[in-house]
Chain A
Amino acid sequence: MATLTMSRPPFGGFSFENCKRNATLEGETSKLGFSLPAARKTGTTICGVVFKDGVVLGADTRATEGMVVADKNCSKIHYISPNIYCCGAGTAADTEMTTQIISSNLELHSLSTGRLPRVATANRMLKQMLFRYQGYIGAALVLGGVDCNGPHLYSIYPHGSTDKLPYVTMGSGSLAAMAVFEDRYKPNMEEEEAKRLVRDAIAAGIFNDLGSGSNIDLCVITKGNVDYIRPHDEANKKGVRLNELEALQLTGDYKYKRGTTAVLTKAISPLDLEVVEESVQTMDTS
């Protein structure tokens, strides 16, 4: 007999109901020797620098799942608005969704005010959302852009604190990148110099931090113009394997030559098929 079930209205915030189940599963699977899948993190190097006419944002492109590289070329520089971009480190899903939500809200806000959005507005929206979730959203962001008040750069931490600085780094490779910045940063740099500095900072993160790698993406934001350079530098190109005898490119060719597997016997049996039913369906080609 059918029963009516009352549907409860959805509550806000996170539901921690599955925590007990997960804890039991974790215990059981570890007894059997398996491990549960881990959330994919971007163990990352991201950084940003303010130069004479704007900001340069940089990021590596490696996404890791535990000790394995899940994505060799993921994009960590996210669009917020035509004049504001945001690099994200931490849990990949969190940075992706958070930046998308704020980008959407900022577009609505910009339509409401009739003005180009300001970086400080994006910063406020991001920090208030992250603070509301008390650090459970693992998004560490580098927010940069140019608005009517000039170029601005913010670093935003998962718990909701922000710092407004001329140069910032975040992610597991941030120490390596910060070392480069502290050595060579100067105020009011030219664009090429700033791009070189950011490229070198990300490269330091890529080569000295295990969680960062692959290519370097840059995003140069100036008044009225954005250069999204992806990739700016292919720091780690996958090697090409050659077979010397045949000078063939082996990489990616997974076909086996006929004769690799020896044929022992061959038996052919014809199948007698009779037509049971024949139907024609006309195709409407008009």
Chain B
Amino acid sequence: MAAAASMMPIYGQQISSKNDLVPDWTTQEVSTGTTIMAVEYDGGVVIGADSRTTTGAYIANRVTDKLTRIHDRIFCCRSGSAADTQAIAEVVAYQLGFHSIELDEPPLVETAANLFRASCYRYREELMAGILVAGWDRRKGGQVYCVPIGGMLVRQPVAVGGSGSSYIYGFMDSNYKPGLSKDQCLELTASALALAMERDGSSGGVIRLATISEDGVERRVILGDQLPKFSTH
């Protein structure tokens, strides 16, 4: 539908007349306007995301899984264009799987993060993808790497991303302390995501959480009615 409706921006005109029968949101790109979060703790990482994917003002998928497995102990949280992030994640998963077989040992989280950064930086003009790479490996334990739009790479103990992240920077700064336990991290993540989902229109649905440690990956879902509540009215 994008093909028939739009042209290269230089000419500024449209080949075919705007069709009233087909509404605007059918021609919009699918975006994960999102809130994603990742926290390191001693022994692993906790990652979380909301579950809303939108095309314009319509929610195309209200139960999206934005926590994508890249390898056994490495996950990524996707935000930005759904098509771009899915494509990148699949390419990186392939590259990392190949690399891991060559090494004959589990890959490093830093390797995965660098593969993401390589794709996101090289094609920075064409892509719209903000990704958090998080996982556990034997060398450095739990790690969180942030690869925002533009293709930067930086390791952080706590990272948030997506359109809803702007609303929870204050909450993060005041409530995160180094040395939290796994359950405290889970509570922090759930609360932060709930607050962001409350305020950001592009975030919502359910909260998906996962803990990654040496023992494996534990996934859980917090449904709408069980979300942490903050408002009293």
A interface list, Cβ under 8 A from B: 16, 19-20, 22-23, 26-27, 35-36, 38-39, 41, 43, 64, 66-67, 90-91, 94, 124, 127-128, 130-131, 134-138, 140, 155, 157-163, 165, 171-172, 174-175, 209-211
Which chain B residue lies CB-closest to A27?
B13
Q: Is the CB of B63 within 8 A of A165?
A: yes
Interface size class of B (residues with CB under 8 A): 35 or more
Which listed segment binds A: B81-89, B109-117, B137-145, B147-155? Answer: B81-89
The total of Cβ contacts below 8 Å across the A-B interface reads: 112
Q: Is the CB of A136 within 8 A of B3?
A: yes
Given known pairs A19-B8, A138-B1, A165-B61, the reply for A26 and B13 (CB within 8 Å) is: yes
- Taken residue by residue from 77 to 98, chain B's Cβ proximity to chain A (1 for < 8 Å, 0 otherwise) reads as 0000111001100100000000
Which chain B residue lies CB-closest to A25?
B15
Q: Which 6 A-B pairs have the closest CB atoms?
A: A161-B82, A211-B21, A159-B83, A138-B1, A161-B83, A38-B16
Which residues of chain B from 1 to 55 have a CB within 8 Å of any chain A CB? 1-5, 7-8, 11, 13-17, 19-23, 26, 29-30, 53, 55
A-B contact pairs, 27 of them (CB 8 A): A19-B11, A23-B11, A26-B14, A27-B13, A38-B4, A38-B19, A43-B22, A90-B1, A90-B26, A94-B3, A127-B83, A127-B87, A128-B87, A131-B87, A135-B2, A138-B1, A138-B4, A140-B26, A155-B61, A158-B3, A161-B83, A163-B60, A163-B64, A165-B63, A172-B21, A175-B58, A210-B21
Q: How far apart are A18's CB and chain B's nearest CB, in angstroms?
A: 10
Interface centre among A67, A124, A161 (most CB of B within 10 A): A161
B26 surroundings in chain A (CB, below 8 A): 90, 140, 171-172, 174
B21 surroundings in chain A (CB, below 8 A): 41, 43, 64, 67, 172, 209-211
Given known pairs A38-B4, A64-B21, A91-B3, the reply for A160 and B15 (CB within 8 Å) is: no
Q: Beyond A23-B11, A135-B2, A174-B26: 18 further Cβ-contacts under 8 Å?
A: A23-B7, A23-B13, A43-B21, A67-B20, A127-B86, A135-B3, A135-B83, A136-B2, A136-B3, A140-B26, A157-B55, A157-B82, A159-B30, A160-B86, A161-B86, A163-B53, A163-B61, A211-B21
